[in-house]
Amino acid sequence: MSTNTEESALAAAVYSPALLARAQKGDPQSEYLLGISYFTGRGVSQDRSQASIWISKAAAHGRADAQTYLGTLCEETGDFTEALKWYRLAAIQGHALAQFSVGQMHISGEGVPRDCAEALKWFHMAADQGLPSAQWNLGLAYSRGDGTPMDKAEAVKWWRLAADNGHASAQFSLAGSYLLVKACRKTKRKL
């Protein structure tokens, strides 16, 4: 989940000669912001190659946000092994989006063997930090019994949290579960 600090930094990611100078001196935040500037084309012509170079430098300096972004860039090119490497580095630093991404790779089997229980571990870490997508995925896992015993009450708990955080699919899932309960009560059937 993006923090307010990350969101402010990304909003400030506009190319400037001063930003370039700081990045060239090896300042990790400036490297990351310069990479984002090249990626988005804010203040400079969009250049994914330059974006990758500068984001890679920031990631090598240990910036979790840059590592997560680099993981996404690698995943987009189909290099799942490299993506997982960068996501894990950021995830162990507590970056919620990276934790979620590691979980996604485990649930889909991209870059690693499919392992629902391992995915759940990473989703929990991200969900506990308030990441709505991770909360929704936990709800799905509990509703289906993916990597955990099926637990409808636990599914509803996570969907409610995600829905309260504005996650549209969680709101839909939560509404569906309430309608199912209502229908079961009407017909006196058990879930």
State the Cα–Cα distance between residues 159 and 57, nearest whole angstrom: 38
CB of 170 closer than 8 Å to CB of 177: no
Q: What is the pLDDT of residues 99-156, one digit of tens each?
A: 999 999 999 999 899 999 999 999 999 999 999 999 989 998 998 898 899 998 898 8
Instruction: Write the CA distances from 28 to 11, 150, 170, integer angstroms.
Output: 17, 44, 36
pTM of this structure: 0.81
Domain range list for the chain: 130-191
* Sign of the alpha-carbon dihedral angle for 156, 141, 123, 71: negative
Q: What is the pLDDT of residue 13?
A: 72
For the stretch 53-66, pLDDT in tens is 999 999 999 999 99
